[in-house]
Amino acid sequence: MTTPTRVLLVDDQLLVRSGFSLILSVEDDLEVVGQAGDGAEAVRLTRELRPDVVLMDVQMPVMDGIEATRRIVADGQARVVILTTFDRDDYVFAGLSAGASGFLLKNADADHLIEAVRTVAGGHALLAPEVTRRVIEQMATGAPGTAPGATREAEPGAAPSRDPRRDPSRDPRLDDLTPRELEVLVLVGRGLSNAEIAAALFVGEATVKTHLSNVFAKLHLRDRVQAVVLAYEAGLILRGEPGDHPTG
């Protein structure tokens, strides 16, 4: 029998915690192992209870959810999903910068909440494409890879115009990637989904997933959000380039 995903609920409102607990506890593959009313208690309980996923409110007394997320992620204890009542870029930016694996509005329906926990527990990032595309550029502001002369992105289906593996200014983190893996990283950096990448490169989605897994392993990345940020930091994408924000 598969071990259930262990979940810690963090919110300063008891009714919110109780509601989430009621939703998650009826699922056979999910187990609510604890609840916390502030960030400091969340850090303590995460170390004590070892949950797989922490659902983290932002605005709380004693310690806010962003600082609590930073400490939990630094400890390598659990994956964190930021919960808030507001669809605000500053919360998303701060949460992702602190190492959160996703972002979810508190008014999400029960199915979305359950799927969010399962998605993050499975090692995937939880961000709607439109959220990713408007926040990533903020995260990349001031990144060293965006200096003049940094590598520019490739057109879909083509190798990067300047291969960072041969560029004196290349980011050394890219050295172990194959040309195809580098292409996939570029397209991930532009915010494309696996299906969009497969169409751009004329390959199957299974092939894209394999390349992504290799990229994650070689670059020691936790999820897709980290891959997008690294693509900007490494100069594979320059801010404001045409095609930087695809639609759909």
Report the domain count for the chain.
2
CATH number at residue 45: 3.40.50.2300
Whether pTM exceeds 0.75? no
pLDDT of residue 160: 42
Give the domain extent around 14.
5-126
Check whether residue 13 and residue 105 sit in a common domain.
yes
Q: What is the pLDDT of residues 84-141, one digit of tens each?
A: 776 666 777 778 778 888 888 888 889 989 998 998 888 777 765 556 555 665 655 5
Which residues in the chain show pLDDT less than 70?
A: 1, 86-89, 127-170, 238-248
pLDDT of residue 173: 82
In a domain, residue 242? The reply is: no
pLDDT of residue 85: 76
pLDDT of residue 242: 36
For the chain, give the secondary structure using H, E and C.
CCCCEEEEEECCCHHHHHHHHHHHHCCCCEEEEEEECCHHHHHHHHHHHCCCEEEEECCCCCCCHHHHHHHHHHHCCCEEEEEECCCCHHHHHHHHHCCCCEEEECCCCHHHHHHHHHHHHCCCCECCHHHHHHHHHHHHCCCHHHCCCCCCCCCCCCCCCCCCCCCCCCCHHHCCCCHHHHHHHHHHHCCCCHHHHHHHHCCCHHHHHHHHHHHHHHHCCCCHHHHHHHHHHCCCCCCCCCCCCCCC
Check whether residue 117 and residue 15 sit in a common domain.
yes
In a domain, residue 239? The reply is: no
Check whether residue 115 and residue 167 sit in a common domain.
no
